[in-house]
Structure 1
Amino acid sequence: MIIGQAFAWVLDPANHTGPNGIPVRLWEHVWISLLAVAIASVVAVPIGYLIGHTGKARGVAIALSGGIRALPTLGVLTLFGLMLGVNLQAPLLALVILAVPSVLAGAYAGIESVEPVTVDAARAQGMTEWQILTRVEIPLGLPLLVGGVRAAVLQVVATATLAAYVGAGGLGGYVFLGLKTQDYAMMLGASVLVIALAIAFEIVLAVLQRAVVPAGVADRPARRRSGSRERPRTPIPEGNPS
């Protein structure tokens, strides 16, 4: 059965040694993915914070993000490959473009999620706009930013298989090699590794997103739920009833 053959290929010790071994390809895939998301975050997070704090150019950012999402990654990768040659730059740029919309949306949505009353209270205490952004809005909006990064990482990990299309390495090399040699066990095994990697990142980032929620914000829903179940108690009069 092809599924059994795929797992046998993944577990075969012969496929875990040498420069083309699974650990090497897996590390290349992780490195390319994280580098692309890191570059996208450096570009998108400051822009998202500026949009969220000032409220300006939000419509432009949404339209631009939607346009970027509509771009076919394979087509962008091919275009960059023709322009820059067969190297890491082409897939890296394509993956950065893929990651920017999710990170940008998480950044400005996190700032916008902060209640205006909280911002007004900070401003009334004499905080500057920079202090409001760094001490109030960014900490409270951090969970949504991590959520945007989480979505970007999953998209990039799944799409980074295309990096092998221009010879940049990663687990996609097994997919293209298996397609060329009709080794479908190798193709499916590489796909299983990509899925496992995406699940691992999903678990880690989900835990991180939960961990960055400020303590007061995390306790608020619990207090509301417990308060909704409590009923007002009728005061018991002192003394014995007549």
Structure 2
Amino acid sequence: MTSVRAVRAVPVLIAAVTLLVTGGLAGCSERQVDSDSGAESTSAATRPSTTAPPQSQATTPGADPAEVEQAVERAVLGEQDLAGEGVRAVDPPSVASGCLAAVPVGLIGRQRTLLRWEYPTGSTLDQLVTGYVDRPAADVLNGRVRCPGAELTLPSRPDVQAHRGWCVDNTCTLLLASGQVLSGIQVSAGEQVRAREAVLRMAPIAAAKLPAND
């Protein structure tokens, strides 16, 4: 009897050993796959990117500062230009006032030209001229200049690229832009109607001093 039980136990023992061996191999195989996958993930995560950085856009070169400065000087009104107004030159203010103060500074060095003339009645006529190296003056006038008061209704001026005007109280201002140059005429008088008439009279004279609107 003892011999028979021993013989029957042999197949059971063999089967158990087989299961243990198979299970161990499967576990090793799974651990190997997991290990390989982890290595690949780690390698992918630490691999440096080969994407090229975006290229910076080339900047458009600006106008020649010396040429812009010369254009600013040519736009300044002279004695002959103002002969019909009966004015005389007086010391200009240290800073621009009214709508002229809203004009952004252009050239560095000779930043702007500010002049003043006086009528026999005591009314004043100011001119401010400045130039922009990096952009057209019309872009500055249309995009950056805002003045208080009522905006003037101006006739079409094909000789300039942009023009705008405002009146507040007894002061009226006309701004003209062409090329790189912006010119402003401002008249302060006893009555707004007289100031408005004066800047409108000066419009074609000041426009003729600006760079040609090609």
| TM-score using structure 1 length | 0.23
Larger gyration radius, structure 1 or structure 2 = 2
Q: Relative CO higher for 1 or 2, CA cutoff 8 Å, sep ≥ 6?
A: 1
Q: Which has the higher helix share?
A: 1
Q: Which has the higher strand share?
A: 2
| TM-score using structure 2 length | 0.25
